[in-house]
């Protein structure tokens, strides 16, 4: 059992779906968790309540992680809540924002997708790094779309997530001297609000049927992988992107 006692974790997009599962599992393993959310305080409060009801420690902090001022405030409030330093950063926040082929999108849409999926990782990581303990861990979120280009209308999203893959590898090299490990996970079809919103039911059924394991993944399964990568059990794993897609895509 992984023990995160006396460790502090910040999870962006931590209020729902995979972010919620990550927050709850980190807390269950002993971490004090800062649950960042953007626009749904009820979901974030529900996540915090679930953690505290089980005896864990958590606070919710609203911030738009595409905006530098919000990110600085997030880090400041997070430091005030749990002692000033961090041990774990999990950059979950991101999203498709809409399915548009390149001839259907304008520059504003492209920039918005890049901001929420890639710029956010840069901003939060840069802001957290001065307070991240040596020997700490960063886990970013890429996507199977970064590997295979994504479904129709996901070219901006898949490009941004490809950037997360490369950012992860570069950071692993830069932060290695501080013994900070940087990895990312690349989920495939996971049963979340993301696919409830952007993927047609018939497409989900087709993908699940074609997956070697014959189903979609669940948020808690992704959370288990994140917790492993954040833990000392993965002490020699850095710069990796771990696919979690039921066997749909191999690297």
DSSP secondary structure letters along 192-244: SHHHHHHS-HHHHHHHHHHSTTSS-B-HHHHHHHHHHHHSGGGTT--S-EEEE
131 catalytically annotated: no
Lookup: tokens for 148: 């295979």
Which of 37, 131, 157, 249 is the catalytic position? Answer: 157
Whole-Å CA distances, 39 to 59, 60, 103, 157, 219: 16, 12, 30, 20, 20
Classify residue 199 by burial, with Cβ atoms within 10 Å: 0-12, 13-18, 19+. Answer: middle
Strand partners, 181: 137
Which residues carry out catalysis?
157
């Amino acid at each position: 059992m992984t023990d995160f006692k006396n460790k502090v974790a910040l999870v962006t997009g931590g209020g729902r779906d995979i972010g919620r599962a990550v927050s709850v599992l980190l807390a269950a393993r002993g971490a004090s968790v800062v649950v960042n959310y953007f626009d749904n305080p009820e979901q974030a409060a529900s996540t915090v309540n679930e953690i505290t009801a089980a005896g864990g420690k958590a606070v919710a902090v609203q911030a738009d992680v595409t905006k530098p001022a919000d990110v600085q405030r997030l880090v400041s409030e997070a430091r005030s809540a749990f002692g000033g330093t961090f041990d774990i950063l999990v950059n979950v926040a991101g999203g498709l924002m809409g399915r548009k082929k390149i001839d259907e999108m304008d520059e504003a849409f492209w920039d918005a997708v890049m901001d929420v999926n890639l710029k956010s990782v840069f901003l939060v990581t840069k802001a957290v790094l001065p307070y991240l303990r040596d020997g700490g861990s960063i886990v970013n979120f890429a996507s199977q779309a970064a590997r295979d280009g994504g479904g129709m209308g996901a070219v901006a999203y898949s490009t941004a997530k490809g950037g997360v893959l490369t950012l992860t590898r570069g950071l692993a090299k830069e932060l290695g001297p501080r013994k900070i490990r940087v990895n990312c996970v690349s989920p495939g079809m996971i049963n979340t609000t993301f696919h409830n919103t952007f993927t047609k039911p018939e497409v989900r059924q087709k993908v699940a049927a074609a997956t070697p394991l014959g189903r979609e993944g669940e948020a808690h399964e992704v959370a288990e992988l994140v917790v492993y990568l954040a833990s000392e059990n993965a002490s020699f794993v850095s710069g990796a992107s771990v696919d979690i897609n039921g066997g749909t895509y191999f690297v």
